[in-house]
Amino acid sequence: MNYRFVNATIVCPVAGTRTGDLLVADGVIVDAVSAGAETIDCRGRHLAPALVDLGVFAADARACRAGGIVRVGLMPDQAPVLDDPGIVQRAALVGRPDLWIHPIAAATRGLAGTDLAEMATCRAAGARAVGTGRGWIADSGVMARVLAYAAGLGLTVIAHAEDGGLTRGAVATSGETATRLGLPAAPAAAEALAVARDLMLAEETGARLHLRQVTTAAALDLVRAAKRRGVAVTCGITPAHLHLSDIAMSDYRTFAHLSPPLRSEADRQAARAAIADGTIDVIASGHDPQGPEAKRLPFADSAPGMAGAETLLALSLILVRDGLLPMERLFALVAANPAAVLGIDAGTLQVGKPADLLLFDPAAPWRIDADAFASAGNTPFAGLPVEGRVLRVWKGGREVTA
């Protein structure tokens, strides 16, 4: 199908923001189309690359459509674990054509952190990266071998960065809130310790390292310094860690039980500064929905995680309204950069790129209603008024309608 999008505010992470037309032929963005192309009047609304959500734990097609997401990097923490080429291949094919799932293969067998998984065969089966999953590889020798093996294959290692020796059994960050609530807690330094080790090993091996979530000031300073030294490192964060501090856990609100846990207000402000100065490369939903049976428990017994796919755009747009970054840079964080981490040539509106498109109204108000979510409705943002509504989504020039 050929399209002519007219009267659009076109947002491209590379070319910037402009008003005008965008042309699509045979699923690709082009500079000319036939006279018979279907015309879509955008009426001044924003046309941008559809989102690439890096590091989801559940590939919910309906939730992704509602959030403007057409590609996801699926974490290896599945049942069964993504450590076998057959399992990886099946995962890669499940959502097509509307949702493209890009598996992140397990770095170690069963995510046990001991024996290396068959990364080469998993890559041949469709894996776009390898990851440590929800946990940290405690053995530095194993992590060094993971990084060296992945470097030889041209794969990025996506790491969870918290020292497991400090965080074992913890559900909160040490501080006033955890003390007042009597929750088992770990120091924020657990993140910086893990980040420091993994950065040194990545520098030693020449591997590409993506730290899936970096949420503390000390760890962000380490990433900033490593980038200056030329280390091939990128890092991400979720909207929850940009907009909420550990105060959100007050009254034992299990919907605010996340991994990593919410941090202090000082760390939250440091994360916002890291968005503004370019230290943080990716904003991802961290989509890990939990059912009521996993959340309606005492805080320490509840499962960490939240449904984030449907709110990724609206919560990220807050950063634009707050003046931390322009619209085109936001779409680098939610589309172009996560695609680059996965080695995918997508996430921009340049000629020749896939027509993965998102039409949205950045000023449309709505209230986050967890009960209306397509996935399990647990979110710490329930009831929050936001702006930014997804209107229509296309994957490779084909409209996604459900």
| Cα 63 to Cα 103: distance, rounded to the nearest angstrom | 18
For residue 35, what pLDDT band results from cuts at 50, 70 and 90? confident
Mean pLDDT of the chain: 96
- Let me know if residue 72 belongs to a domain: yes
- Let me know if residue 24 belongs to a domain: no
- Let me know if residue 34 belongs to a domain: no
| Cα 255 to Cα 307: distance, rounded to the nearest angstrom | 10
Please choose, from the candidates 135, 63, 73, the residue with its C-alpha nearest in 3D space to the C-alpha of residue 289. 63
Number of domains in the chain: 1
Would you tell me how many other CB atoms lie within 10 Å of the CB of residue 197?
A: 19
- Return the pLDDT at 346: 96
Model pTM score: 0.97
- Let me know if residue 161 belongs to a domain: yes
- Let me know if residue 55 belongs to a domain: yes
Does the pLDDT of residue 265 top 90, yes or no? yes
Whichever domain contains 292, its CATH number is 3.20.20.140
For residue 17, what pLDDT band results from cuts at 50, 70 and 90? very high
| Cα 156 to Cα 120: distance, rounded to the nearest angstrom | 13
Q: Provide the domain limits for residue 66.
A: 51-345+369-384
Q: Which residues contact 143 (CB under 8 A, 6 or more apart)?
A: 137, 197, 198, 201
- Let me know if residue 41 belongs to a domain: no
Copy the structure tokens of residue 285.
Answer: 């939903």
- Return the pLDDT at 1: 80
Mind listing the pLDDT tens digit for each residue in 42-73? 999 999 999 999 999 999 999 999 999 999 99
Mean pLDDT, rounded, for 25-43: 92
- Return the pLDDT at 33: 85
Mind listing the pLDDT tens digit for each residue in 204-251? 999 999 999 999 999 999 999 999 999 999 999 999 999 999 999 999
- Let me know if residue 219 belongs to a domain: yes
- Return the pLDDT at 287: 97
Residue carrying the six token digits 């940290």: 136
Mind listing the pLDDT tens digit for each residue in 147-175? 999 999 999 999 999 999 999 999 999 99
- Return the pLDDT at 375: 78
Decide if 305 contacts 261 (C-beta within 8 A).
Answer: no
- 248-251 long-range Cβ contacts below 8 angstroms, 24+ apart: 248/380, 249/172, 249/177, 249/178, 249/181, 249/183, 249/299, 250/177, 250/181
| Cα 15 to Cα 5: distance, rounded to the nearest angstrom | 17
| Cα 126 to Cα 90: distance, rounded to the nearest angstrom | 9
- Return the pLDDT at 190: 98
- Let me know if residue 378 belongs to a domain: yes
Copy the structure tokens of residue 372.
Answer: 């209306």
Does the pLDDT of residue 376 top 90, yes or no? no
Mind listing the pLDDT tens digit for each residue in 80-122? 999 999 999 999 999 889 999 999 999 999 999 999 999 999 9
